[in-house]
Amino acid sequence: MKSLLRNAARLVFGCVCLLLSGLPTQATNIQLYSNGPALPSDTYAWDISTPGKVVSNSFVISAPAVIASFSFGVWVTSATVPLTVDWSITSQEFGGTTYGLGTNAPLTSLVKQAWTQNNPSLCYNPCDVYQVTVSSLNVNLAPGSYWLNLQNATATGFGAFVGWDENSGPGMASDSSVGTIASEDPDIYGYYSSGGGETPEPGSLALFGSGALGIGAFLRRRLIG
């Protein structure tokens, strides 16, 4: 009887190890798409701070993926700092099917201060240029073309200008009040989901672990008894 229980215990232990080895691990974020060199690389930035104005830029996903973050460049009124931005990822420019949306306070990194080259009148005086990153996203996308839409951006200072940097990359872009424009500079980050997936939820792991421990304790009691 004890030999039988020992064999059963070994079998359970082996199954637990096999199942744990097959659990997906946390994927490492990589760059899934880039629209070319980031700012300041062109002569213009498109207004995303005036209420009602939206700028939309296309991007392509080559395989099933989860979008975790995106970054882009902005020009802002000098001595102000970007605060928030409304974003959405859709099937068409400005709309269609919505796959994700939100209002986020992005991480910011100053690139150029009091930049007077290239249309400083956009910022009403010399511009400060920032690279900003919107993170903590979880947007699942199938392979295909999508649009990143930005609007209602804010910065410190009443009425501060916020403009999305134009870099004339390979994507397509539109301004809601102008129409087709030269493309902007989004970089899209995340991981491809076809090779595994996200880390299992803590609750699922806890349930699985407690079940395995329960079986082990039962077998141990039978062996001792």
Question: What is the residue extent of each domain of the chain?
Answer: 2-23+200-224, 30-192
- Tell me the whole-structure pTM to 2 decimals: 0.75
pLDDT attached to residue 20: 44
Quick check: bond before 170 cis, omega within 30?
no
| Mean pLDDT of the 187-193 span | 96
pLDDT attached to residue 96: 96
Structure confidence by residue, pLDDT tens digits, 59-103? 999 999 999 999 999 999 999 999 999 999 999 999 999 999 999
pLDDT attached to residue 62: 96
pLDDT attached to residue 115: 74
Residue 5 has pLDDT above 90, yes or no: no
Structure confidence by residue, pLDDT tens digits, 26-48? 578 999 999 987 665 567 899 99
Task: Name the β-bridge partners of 33.
Answer: 188
| Residue with the larger pLDDT of the pair 112 and 178 | 178
What percentage of the chain has pLDDT greater than the value 70? Answer: 70
